[in-house]
Chains A and B, each alone.
Chain A
Amino acid sequence: MTEKPEIQLPEDKPLEIAGRTYQSRLLVGTGKYHDLMETGHAVEMSGAEIVTVAVRRTNLGQNPDEPNLLDVVSPDSYTILPNTAGCFTAKDAVRTCKLARELLDGRDLVKLEVLGEDRTLYPNMLETLAAAEELIKDGFKVMVYCSDDPLLAMRLEEMGCIAIMPLGAPIGSGLGIQNRYNIRQIIENANVPVLVDAGVGTASDATIAMEMGCDGVLMNSAIAHAKDPIRMANAMRLAIEAGRESYLAGRMPKKLYGSASSPLDGTFF
C-alpha cells in the first residue's frame, strides 16, 4: 500500500438562498411548455425546489375557470421566484418586482433581469445595477441575472445581491457555457451563491457548470424545448447531481500522454 497523500477537497456546503436550505441545485423556469400539465410534470421530474415565473397582465377576455400556473406550481410546495423578464429599464423591473411581491403575499425574493436588446437578450448591466440598488433598498432579496463580467459580479455582491447569476450563453440559445474562464473567476471571487442562468442546451452543459463549482444552474428552454421535456427534466436532475459530485470528488489532473491503468508487473508475455 502506498501512503495516501493529504488531499484538499472542496467543502460540501448546502445551497442556501435567503436563509433557506435547498437539496436541489437545479432551478427551473415555467415558460415555453405546451400546457400547464406538462409544466407541472417537468417541474416535478426535475426535482427543482425553486421555480421561476413571469408577471403579466390578466387577459380581459380570459376564461376565469382556466387553471392558473400557481395552482400547478403551488407556492406551498415550491419557492416561487418571480422574474423581471421582458423589462428593458430599471424602472419597469422595479415595478414588476413590487407587483410580484404583492402577488406572492409579501415574499420578497426576486430574479432581477434587465435586458439590453432583442437579438441576444444580453443583460443591460447599467440598468441592472440601478434596479438592484433600488430593490435592495426596498427590502427585496435580489438574485441577479448578469453578464459574465467578474468585476461587475463582485460589484453586485457588494451591493447586497444574494445570488449572482451570470449567463452561460444568450437566453434560449442552448449554446452551453461560452466563457468558462469568466464563470470560474466569478465563482472564485464570490461569497454568495453563483448560478449559471441561461445558455444551457443539454445535460452535459449543466454538468460542466457544476463541475466548475457553480452552486446551481437555472434553466428553462433546455427542458421545455427538448423533444421529450419530462425525460430531459430527469436528465438535467441527474446532470446537476453528477456535476456536483464530480466537483466535490475533485477530478484527476489532465496529462498530455497516456498512463496505464493496469500494472505492468506480473505480465506473462
Chain B
Amino acid sequence: MQVQVNGEAMELPAGATVAALVEKMALTGKRLAVEINEDIVPRSQHPMFALNDGDRVEVVHAIGGG
C-alpha cells in the first residue's frame, strides 16, 4: 500500500503499524508526534495502530522557533 508521509509517497506492507513506519524512518525512541488524516495518534497506540492505503501521515518534532 502507499501512504503519504510528511507530504511524500511511501510504500509500506499492507497492515503496517505506526510503530513500523517510525522504525522505517529510523526514529524509534525519538520524541515525536504522529497525526493521521489530521487526527493525533497517541504514542501508546503506535504499536497497534494499523495504517490504511492512502493515509496522510505527519510525523513532527520540536525545532528552534520563537
A-side residues, CB < 8 A to B, are: 29-33, 36, 39, 52-60, 64, 68-70, 80, 82-83, 85, 95, 98-100, 102-103, 171-172, 198, 218-221
Contact = CB atoms under 8 A, between A and B. Distances in A.
Interface string B23-34: 001110011111
Contacts, number: 103
7 contacts: A30-B66, A60-B5, A70-B61, A70-B62, A95-B35, A198-B66, A220-B66
A57 B6 contact: yes
B11 interface: no
Given A58-B61, A99-B35, A102-B40, A64 B26 contact: yes
Interface residues of B, number: 26
Interface string B47-66: 00000000000111111111
Given A30-B66, A221-B66, 6 more contacts: A32-B66, A33-B64, A58-B32, A68-B31, A98-B35, A102-B43
Contacts of B61: 55-56, 58, 68-70, 103
B6 A58 contact: yes
Interface of B: 5-8, 25-27, 30-35, 38, 40, 42-43, 58-66
Given A57-B6, A58-B59, A60-B25, A31 B64 contact: yes
Given A64-B30, A68-B30, A102-B42, A56 B63 contact: yes
Among the interface residues A68, A69, A102, A198, which one has the most CB atoms of the partner chain B within 10 A?
Answer: A102
A60 B26 CA distance: 9
Contacts of A83: 65-66
Given A55-B62, A68-B31, A103-B60, A95 B25 contact: no
Contacts of A70: 31, 61-62
Given A68-B31, A70-B31, A102-B43, A58 B60 contact: yes
Given A60-B6, A103-B31, A80 B62 contact: yes
A152 B48 CA distance: 45
Contacts of A172: 66
Among the interface residues B6, B33, B62, B63, which one has the most CB atoms of the partner chain A within 10 A?
Answer: B62
B43 A57 contact: no
A198 B65 CA distance: 12
